[in-house]
Amino acid sequence: MISEKTKYALGSVTQIPLGEGRNFRIGDTEIAIFHTRQGIYATQAECPHRRGPLADGLVGGTQVTCPFHAWKFDLKTGEPQMGSCALQTYPVHLTESGDIELTFLGEAARFAS
């Protein structure tokens, strides 16, 4: 069964300094939200390599570099710059009042859809 899309209001974007990322926990899932000069992006929180904290990485354009061993991923698509493991990305946008709104289907839906 596919659960309904659910929107989460994560609060003001000012919680995340410009150019950095922070994690938010929804249920059992941690999601990294990046507040870049290009816009706002959401991906899984842990690096697929050895679980490095992506939100602590350095961001350049729409790319994040994992702080552990420097694997790079595109924040928009989750595509890796090298290798085959992509990041899960999640739809996210800023409301007019500057609040972060995340669409999250729940973990189960990720595999069912």
Question: What residue ranges bind other proteins (CB under 8 A)?
Answer: 6, 8-11, 14-20, 22-26, 30, 37, 48-53, 55-61, 63-65, 67-68, 72, 82, 84-85, 111
Minimum distance from residue 10 beta carbon to other proteins (Å): 6
Q: What's the min distance (Å) between Cβ of 61 and other proteins?
A: 5
Strands (E), 3-113: 6-12, 20-26, 29-35, 40-44, 58-60, 63-65, 72-74, 89-90, 92-94, 99-104
Closest of 81, 79, 98 to residue 12, by C-alpha: 98
DSSP letter for 57, please. S
Nearer to other proteins, 40 or 55 (CB): 55
Partner from ligand FES, other proteins, none binding residue 65, C-beta < 5-8 Å depending on class = other proteins
Q: Which residues bind ligand FES (CB under 6 A)?
A: 47, 49-52, 66, 68-71
How many Å apart are CA 34 and CA 2, to the nearest integer? Answer: 27
